Each structure stands twice: as C-alpha cells, then as structure tokens.
Structure 1
Amino acid sequence: MKPTPHRLVSSLALAALALATAGGCASKAPSAADRDDGRFIVGYSQSNNAEPYRAQTNLQLKHYLKAHPKIKLLPIADAKQNSATQVSQVQQFIQQRVDVLIVSPTEPAPLTAAVQQACQVRIPVIILDRTVNTDCHTAFIGGDNYEIGKKAGEAAVKELPDGGDVVELRGLLSNQPQIDRNKGFNDAIKANSKIKVIEAREAKWLKEAAVPIMQQWLSRHKKIDLVYAHNDPMALGAYLAARAQNRQGQLKIIGIDGLAIPDGGIRAVQQGQLATTFVYPTGAKEAVDTLAAIQQGKQVGKKQTLGTTQVTKENAKQLYQQYDMSGKAN
C-alpha cells in the first residue's frame, strides 16, 4: 500500500531521529570557536516565503543581523508550505552542523521529530512563530494567537452591536495559529448571541485562495455583515471579491498581521479597506537577540511571547512609521 504524505513525512523524520539518537547525545555541532573564521553559522527553514508576513520576517531578520557581523545566516530555505520539504531542509542544516537552527514550522507534527533530531546532537533550536510538539528546543518566539483571535472577536462585537452574520476565512487547518485564532475569536463573540458565523473555510493564508471563496459566499448570501480573516492577505482577498460586486460598503473586514508594507494591513486600514487589523510581530528582532545570547553563551528565555496592537484609523499612520522597514533593511 502506498504511504500517505503525512505518514511518509513522519517516517522520514522518525528515521532521521533514530539515526541521530544512535550517535548519542555526546555528539555536538562545532561552536563558533571551532571555525577558522570565528563565524557563528545559522540555518533557517521558513514555512513559505510567498506569504507577505514571512517575506517581511526574512527581511527584518537580515536587517537586525547587520549589527552582528560574526553571525552568518545561510540562504533562507523556503519550504513552500510543504512539510516533507521542510523536514528535509532541517535535516540538511543538521548535516551541515550549523551552530543554531531557526525553524518556522509549516505544521507542528511532521516537524517535531526533525527538531528533536537537532536537539539530540545539541544544536540549539529557535522555533519562530509556530509551535512543534516537543519541548526539546532552546527557545520559542511568537505571538499569543488565542489572545489575538480573542481581540479580533471583541472588535467584531463592537462593530456589530446589534448582531449580524459573519464569515470566517481560516488559515491552514493543521496550523496551531489557525486553531488558536479561530478559538479566540469564537469565544469572544459569545458576548453577543446575535452574532452568528454562517460560513467558515480554509483559505491556507493566501489572498488568491480567499478571493474565490468570498465570491461564492457573496453569491450565496444577500447579507454578510463582517468578514474575519486569520491574516491580512485573506482579508484583502475578501475585500477584492466584495469590491468586484460593489458590496465592499456593506460589510466590515477584520484581519491580522498589520505589516507596514504598501499592500499590508496597516495601509488597508488607513484606506478604509479593512475596519481593523492586529499587529502580529515577526519576532525577527527577538530571534536575533536570542542568537546573539546563544553565541555569547548566555541563558535565553525558553518561551518569549510577543504582544499585539490593534490598528485603527487613528493610530495607523504612527504604527506604519514605527514598523516600516523599507529604509532600514536594504
């Protein structure tokens, strides 16, 4: 019987873990001092460079690393939202014996054994943004997605004091941020029993996936009062679909990410395309600070939870200026 993709990923990861364990915990990746040039080598496997949030994370990471010339970031590996690819990337970085590994997991379960493999050979691992199903890592850096989802739900309650019909564009269903953002939102809207989620569907974090889904919903429902999208690209996909039917003025749209880029959520709030969004910090600065601490042999925070800020028309200009990296990261 041909193995399913999930079983294949798990088998690959578990086989790699068995090989690493057979080598024993005594083996260790070389430290910066073991290298001729003294550089501290970092490998980073990114979930999907095509997502604006992740592209911005990469940009910011490179910017903040400029202050640490002895920390060398290898070319960022793009998993393209494929867990099997990402497992292979992590294994390759382990074989290269990098000093530190950064992983932004596509899905938690398939990446767990690969992260444990790095842990077994004593390569420090920074988990950025999305969790894995093991504590065998050096640091987790990311936002509180349940809290952000809850704040989005509270915003929906304010937008719909008399109740209304809501549609929800969800991220990849196996992603923990999607699970938490969904739960937080739905818990918060219980404050108003007249608010009903009438449609919810996976759009995989992608604008191009959100547009046709929203088109279908608009065709099915004469009245949609609010769209809750788990990130800004999906929120903007919903806006484009509504605008094409001249219904953008009939509904409110809430997103998450709040990137300070021309086609990001902060500008969209300024321009009235979104009612509000929430800044979801990339964690790039904290990741670089953690890398520097590891390089210097210092203790680092095991769990570093990042805060959020709601973006409104009143504070959007100031937040854009605060988070804008366009003149800093080149």
Structure 2
Amino acid sequence: MRSKVLAFGVAAALAMAVAAGCASTTETPGSGATGGASGSESGAPTKSEYVVGYSQSNNAEPYRAQLNIQLEHFIKQYPDLKLLPITDAQQDSGKQVAHVQNFIQQKVDVLIVSPNEAAPLTAAVQQACDAKIPVIVLDRTVNTDCYSSFIGGDNVAAGRKAGELAVQLLPSGGNVVELQGILSNQPQIDRDKGFREAIAANPKIKIIQQREAKWLKEEATTVMNQWLAQNLKIDLVYAENDPMALGAYLAAAGRGQEKAMKFIGTDGLAIPDGGIRAVQQGQLAGTFIYPTGAEEAAKAANALVHGETVEKDQTLEIEGVTPENAADLYAKFDFSNK
C-alpha cells in the first residue's frame, strides 16, 4: 500500500511540474502591451508569430495606397511578423472605429492606425492601450498620448515649404486659390497653417478662394472648373496633396489656361501618376515628399513585440521636389520593382 501511495505521489508531482512548465511558455496574443514586453529582452517567452493589424483611413488616396504597398513590403523583412489584411475605412470614422475595435477583439500583438479624424479615433486608440496592445499611430495624430509611437511628417513644415515656394514663384505677388483636404483632418489644418504663415512674407500674395476637395483629384477638378467658370484671375494653385493639384491642372488644361498659372502639391509619390513625375513633366512647379513612414512603422512593430523600446514621437523629414532633382528622387523612392 505504501509503495502505491508513493508511486501516486510521484506521478502527481510530475504532472504538476509538467503543467507548470506548460503555463510558463503560454502567452496570450497582445500581451506585449504598450512596452512591448513580450520579447526576449524582457525575459518573457517569445512567440513564433506576432500578428499586426493596420487600420487605414482611405485606400482611394494614392498616397495611402502606396503606404499600404510599402508597409506590406517592409513587414515582410521581419519573418515572425504577420500583417492581417489592411482595413479600409473609406473616409468614414465610424467604420474605422469598428475596424480598430475588431483588431482589439482579435488581440493583435501590435495595432497600427492612420486615423481618418483625430477626435473620433481617440477613444478607440485608448481602448487598445487599455487592452495592453501596443499602438503605432501613423501619419495622423489622435487626442491621447496613450500610444507606443507616433510616426509621421511635420504637416505644418510641409505647408510652410509649399508657401515658401509660392513666395519664390510670385515675387511680385499674385492671387492664390487653395484646395483643401477634409477640413476636420489634422494634416489639412496643419498644411493650411504652414502655408499661410509662409506666404505672409509677401503681403502682395492673396488667397482669394479656398475650398474642401477631400484629398481627391475628381473633387479638385470640379472645384477648379467652378473657379475658372467665374473668370477668377488665378496666378497659383496650392493643393494640400498632389491628386488635388493634378485635378486642378487637368481642369485648367481643359480650358487651355494651364500655362497662365503655377501648381504646387504635396506627397511626392514615385508612381506614374504621382507628384514627382508631374514635376518632371512640367505639370507641377514643385511638390514635397511627405514620407509614408511605412519602413519606420514596420521597424517599430518588430521592436515592440520583442520587448524593445521605441521613440515616442518620430518626425520624418520633408523633402522638396524640383525639376532638377525629380528624376533622382523618382529612382530613389520607386517601389514598383521591390
């Protein structure tokens, strides 16, 4: 009897040891949290695969479509990262909130968000933070600092650079029309602010009209046609992104008036119908490369899941595109063969 009891006790002890060992290697998805504490540096066990969710504000914009392509490319550089299908909010903040909440329910290891609008997405980002999911806010800000990293360009600086170019192009002053993105978008607010600050250097430069064109070429073409139908004297068109600048150019070209004015955009994508090529072809007087941040986002995601720290705010450089450097910049940023 004693031997049977002893054997039973040994077996029970072994079972408990095995169970404890199994528990020590079990990890709940998303447990990396805001500090990315799921990696080897923290002493916590690693996983063979970490899931990344990306909520995109609107795939219809060429800039955002290119951002998606680049993010997929750079995520593949990290074999243990898995990018879920990118969601498209189609400029609908309510839809994007639902996308973010779905990623939270899936317990992704890292969440990347490009907010359509700051205010509506703030609570959703906070929910992810509360769920201990590291959040990378990409390109557009939210009204909370409960995120692991913000990655994006300085939109005030982008607008200011466009304004400085306008001052160079209109040394004697002139009339400017401004095509704006979605008015509630922070990039629109910031680019408008920077542009107006810069053109204040020449009081003879006047903004005679400004209209929302929602970042879209078609909307900008419609607005520009309306302005031209009013026979406005326009010396320069400032569009807060390249598709709107090219939409305005198409409208002017349709009336044979494109040579009577200058066009400035922002984004500087190295794609056939992007801003860099448009500068090469003489359609735009200049544009500015607003970096997608895709490479930095992939790097940050990898760092977070492995318990490494990342910079809280990563502000990326804005580079100007001119007829002189356009060819070199196109070759540098062309992802079509990567």
TM over 0.5: yes
TM (normalized to structure 2)?
Answer: 0.87
For structure 1, the 5+ residue unaligned runs are 1-26
Whether contact under 8 Å (2:59, 2:65) holds in the other structure is: yes
Q: In structure 2, what is the equivalent of residue 323 of structure 1?
A: 333
Match in the other structure for 2:89: 79
> Secondary structure of 1:191's match?
coil
How many residue pairs align between the two structures?
302
- Greater RCO, 1 or 2 (C-alpha within 8 Å, sep 6+): 2
- Give the match's secondary structure for 2:200: helix
User: Could you tell me whether the CA contact under 8 Å between 2:29 and 2:109 is conserved in 1?
Assistant: no
TM-score (normalised: structure 1): 0.89
Q: Which residue of 1 aligns with 2:65?
A: 55
Match of 1:38 among 44, 48, 56: 48
* Residue of structure 2 in register with 1:197 after alignment: 207
For the residue of structure 1 that corresponds to 2:179, the secondary structure is strand
Mapped partners of 1:28, 1:109: distance in 2: 28
1:85–1:35 CA distance, 2 compared to 1 (3 A)? farther
1:255 aligns with 2:265: yes
Note the alpha carbon deviations across 1:192-219, whole angstroms, 9 max, x for none.
0100000000000000100010001111
Q: CA deviation at 1:28?
A: 7.8
Residues 213/36 of structure 1: CA separation in 2 closer, same or farther (3 Å cut): same
Partner of 1:22: none
1:102 alignment partner, SS class: strand
1:198 counterpart SS class: strand
* Cα separation, 1, equivalents of 2:194 and 2:231: 25
CA shift for structure 1 position 29: 2.8
**Distance in 1 between residues matched to 2:232 and 2:79, nearest whole Å:** 58
Q: Which letter does structure 2 place at the counterpart of 1:29?
A: G
2:135 pairs, out of 125, 130, 135, with: 125
User: Of residues 248, 251, 263 in structure 2, which corresponds to 1:238?
Assistant: 248
Residue 162 of structure 2 corresponds to: 152
Say yes or no: does 1:96 pair with 2:109.
no
Partner residue, 1:208: 218
Task: Map Cα deviations across residues 169-206 of structure 1 (whole Å, 9 max, x no partner).
Answer: 00000000000000000011011010000000000000
Q: Matched residues in 2 for 1:37 and 1:112: separation?
A: 30
Shift of 1:222: 4.1
What residue in structure 2 maps to residue 29 of structure 1? 30
Q: Could you tell me which amino acid in structure 1 is paired with residue 30 of structure 2?
A: A
Match for 1:308: what amino acid? I
The 2-side partners of 1:30 and 1:192 are apart by: 54
AA of the residue aligned to 1:83: S
Compare 273-282 and 60-69 and name the one that shifted more: 60-69
Asked if the contact 1:48/1:78 (under 8 Å) is kept, the reply is yes
Alpha-carbon distance in 2 for matches of 1:191, 1:28:
53
The residue type paired with residue 104 of structure 1 is S
Q: Distance in 2 between matches of 1:174 and 1:318?
A: 35
Query: Which whole-Å CA distance do the structure 2 matches of 1:155 and 1:242 have between them?
Result: 20
- Conservation of the 8 A alpha-carbon contact between 2:116 and 2:185: yes
Identity of aligned residues (%): 64
- In the alignment, is the contact (CA less than 8 A) between 1:28 and 1:122 conserved in 2? no
Superimposed CA distance per residue, residues 110-159 of structure 1 (whole angstroms, 9 cap, x where no aligned partner): 00000000001110000000000000101000000001100100000000
Question: Out of 271, 290, 294, which is 2:300 matched to?
Answer: 290
Which residue of the partner structure matches residue 180 of structure 1? 190
Amino acid in the other structure paired with 2:164: E
Contact 1:28 1:121 in 2 (8 A): no
Q: Report if the CA contact (8 A) 2:31-2:133 is conserved.
A: no
Q: 1:291 to 1:37 in 2, by over 3 A?
A: closer
What is the letter of the counterpart of residue 224 of structure 1? I
- RMSD between superposed Cα atoms in Å: 1.6
1:13 corresponds in structure 2 to none
Runs of 4+ residues over 2 Å off in structure 1: 27-37
- In structure 2, distance between residues paired with 1:114 and 1:277: 34
Between the aligned partners of 2:94 and 2:337, the Cα distance in structure 1 is 36
Gap regions ≥5 residues in structure 2: 1-27, 33-37
**Rg (Cα) greater in structure:** 2
1:39 CA drift (Å): 0.5
User: Shift in Å at residue 66 of structure 1?
Assistant: 1.7
